[in-house]
Amino acid sequence: MNSDGVNGGGTSRERVLGRVRRALADVPRDERPEDHPVTRDYLRVHGERTPAESLDLLAENLADYRAHVHRVDAPGLPALLARLLAERGARRVVVPAGLPRAWLQDAPVDMLSDTPALTPSELDRVDSVVTGCALAIAETGTLVLDAGPGQGRRALTLVPDHHLCVVRAADQVVDSVPQALERLAPAAARPLTWVSGPSATSDIELDRVEGVHGPRTLEVILVTGDPRSG
C-alpha cells in the first residue's frame, strides 16, 4: 500500500527529492557522498583497562543507574538465580528459547517458555523474566539484547516488572559504544534493545526517578567461566 499524494504533476517523493537537489545547488556537481571529510579522531575506548577492570567498571556503572549487580561463577549460577527469584517471591517466570534450562534447575517456579501466542496481557501476569544478552558496555553500564538465542523477542524483557539478565564476563563485555556497534553490525537487521539500568524518567523537575513502564527492577548477573556448559 502506498498513499503518497500526487501533487502538481509529480509524486511527493519526486517533489521532496527535487527540492533537496535544488537546495543543494552550492554543492559541487562532482562531489561524492563520502567526499565531505569526517575526522574520526575520537577515542575508540576511554582509558586503558584489563578485562577484570572493565568488568569492575561495568558493575560500577550498572549500579550507578540502580541496577542490582551480582557476580558468580558458572557452577553457582542456578543457585543464585533461585535465590534472587525467591527473594522477589517470583512464581511465574518466562524464559526465551535458547536459554539453558539448567540455569533454572534449582528454582521452584512455574517456568513459561515463550511462544508467539503469549499475549502482552499474559506477559503482564508474569513475575520475572530471565535472559542472556548479546553484549554489555562497561563505559556506559549498558546491556544490549539482539533477539538472539536466550534473549527472546522484545516484549519479553519489557512487560514483566523484574528482569534478570546474565552476562558472560569472558566474552560478552566490551569497553565502549564504538566497540559495541562494531560487534553488533552483523546483527543490525535484528531488533536491538539497549538497556542501561531500570526504567527511569527525568520528566518531573528534570530530576531522575527510577521506575516507570519498563521493568522496575533490573538484576544483572556477571558470570565467570562458561555458563553454557553447566
Partner 1 sequence: MSRDGARAPRGGAGFPQGGATYLGMPAFPQAADAATRDGRLRANLRHATHTIRAKRARAVAELDDWARLREAGAAIKDRTLRHLDHHLVRLEEAVTRAGGTVHWAADAAEANRIVTDLVRATGEHEVVKVKSMATQEIGLNEALAEAGIRAYETDLAELIVQLGDDLPSHILVPAIHRNRGEIRDIFRDRMASWGRPAPEGLTDRPAELAEAARQHLREKFLRAKVGVSGANFMVAETGTLVVVESEGNGRMCLTLPETLISVVGIEKTVPTWRDLEVFLQLLPRSSTAERMNPYTSMWTGTADGDGPRVFHLVLLDNGRTDTLADEVGRQALRCIRCSACLNVCPVYERAGGHAYGSPYPGPIGAILTPQLRGLSSPLEESLPYASSLCGACFEVCPVAIDIPEVLVHLRERVAEGGEVTVRGTRTVIRPAKGHATERAAMRAARWAFDHPGALRRGQRILARTRRLQPRRLPGPGRAWTDTRELPAVPAESFRDWWARTRGGTA
CB of 126 to partner 1, least distance (A): 13
Nearer Cβ to partner 1 (86/209): 209
Task: Candidates 29, 30, 43, 229: give the one binding partner 1 (CB under 8 A).
Answer: 43
SS3 state at 203: strand
Count of CA atoms in the C-beta half-sphere (13 A) of 159 = 18
229 scored as a contact of partner 1 (CB under 8 A): no
1 grid coordinates: 500500500
- The CA distance from 125 to 32, in Å, is 54
Widest pairwise Cα distance in the chain:
70
93 grid coordinates: 517466570
16 scored as a contact of partner 1 (CB under 8 A): yes
13 scored as a contact of partner 1 (CB under 8 A): yes
Cα separations (Å) of 140 from 23, 41, 60, 193?
39, 20, 10, 15
CB of 39 to partner 1, least distance (A): 6
CB–CB of 85/213 below 8 Å? no
**Binders in 132-171 for partner 1, by CB under 8 A:** 137, 139-142, 147, 153-155, 158-159
Nearer Cβ to partner 1 (50/185): 185
Nearer Cβ to partner 1 (105/119): 119
Taking contact as CB under 8 A, which single stretch among the options 48-56, 78-86, 179-187, 220-228 is the one that binds partner 1? 179-187
Task: Candidates 9, 87, 204, 229: give the one binding partner 1 (CB under 8 A).
Answer: 204
CB of 47 to partner 1, least distance (A): 8
131 scored as a contact of partner 1 (CB under 8 A): no
- Give the number of other CB atoms < 10 A from CB of residue 209: 12
Helices (H), 35-134: 51-64, 77-88, 120-124
22 scored as a contact of partner 1 (CB under 8 A): yes
98 scored as a contact of partner 1 (CB under 8 A): no
182 scored as a contact of partner 1 (CB under 8 A): yes
Task: Candidates 48, 89, 189, 229: give the one binding partner 1 (CB under 8 A).
Answer: 189
50 scored as a contact of partner 1 (CB under 8 A): no
DSSP 31: -
- Give ∠ CA 138-97-80 in degrees, rounded to 5: 55
